Amino acid sequence: MRADILERAWDPEQESFTESFGRPEMDASLLTMHDLGFIDADDPRFVSTVDCIGRHLLRDKHMFRYIAADDFGEPENAFNICTFWYIDALAAAGRRDEARELFEHMLSCRNSLGLLSEDIDPATGELWGNFPQTYSMVGIINAAARLSVSWEDAL
């Protein structure tokens, strides 16, 4: 199965993995390929996939899961966990400064209680969807852990 995915989900024109075999569309879930142990974060295919997803799905520091129309039309709001997946992918690929800047931006999007919803309007910063959202809060925790100094290095 891994060999099939590596061969058939790779789009040489975009230099990126895509959301499904033979289709050019991007899906932010591809950003988790390294966390799932599918591919190394320094693999050139993963690095170029992160870049491609950033070009296609990032809107004003907020990551959409996908931009193709679905049953509800074209997505209007970014899915916050996807922005955290992007932060993790950037950090894992060695782009920690970019990841930290984006992480700090996401922290600034929280409400007065420090909480995030499921989605955010990239143009206005208005929080949308389920609230509070566990995915978003786990995203904060995972990104903070990834960007922090390890206990071993701190001691």
What's the rounded mean pLDDT across residues 32-52?
97
- Report yes or no: 57 and 66 within 8 Å, Cβ to Cβ: yes
Domain range spanning residue 105? 2-149
Buried b (16+ CB within 10 A) or exposed e, 48-83: ebbbbbbebbbbebbbbbbeeeeeeeebebbbbbbb
In a domain, 155, yes or no: no
Q: Using 50, 70 and 90 to split pLDDT, how confident is the model at 154?
A: confident
> What are 102-132's pLDDT values in tens digits?
999 999 999 999 999 999 999 999 999 988 8
Structure tokens belonging to residue 143: 């990104």
Structure tokens belonging to residue 96: 């920690």
Distance, in Å, from the CA atom of 30 to the CA atom of 134, rounded to the nearest integer, reads 20
Confidence (pLDDT) at 8: 95
- What are phi and psi for residue 119, nearest 5 degrees? -130, 165
What's the rounded mean pLDDT across residues 133-152?
90
Name the residue with tokens 């142990």: 37
Percent of the chain with pLDDT over 90: 85
Structure tokens belonging to residue 64: 């959409």
Distance, in Å, from the CA atom of 87 to the CA atom of 25, rounded to the nearest integer, reads 21
Is the pTM above the cut of 0.75? yes
In a domain, 78, yes or no: yes
User: SS in 3 state form for 23-70?
Assistant: CCCCCHHHHHCCCCCCCCCCCHHHHHHHHHHHHHHEECCEECCCCCCE
In a domain, 8, yes or no: yes
> What are 68-101's pLDDT values in tens digits?
888 888 899 999 999 999 999 999 999 999 999 9
Q: Using 50, 70 and 90 to split pLDDT, how confident is the model at 150?
A: confident
* Average pLDDT value over all residues in the chain: 94
What's the rounded mean pLDDT across residues 25-54?
97
In a domain, 154, yes or no: no
In a domain, 136, yes or no: yes
In a domain, 144, yes or no: yes
Q: What is the CATH number of the domain that holds 46?
A: 1.50.10.10
How many structural domains comprise the chain?
A: 1
Distance, in Å, from the CA atom of 24 to the CA atom of 9, rounded to the nearest integer, reads 9
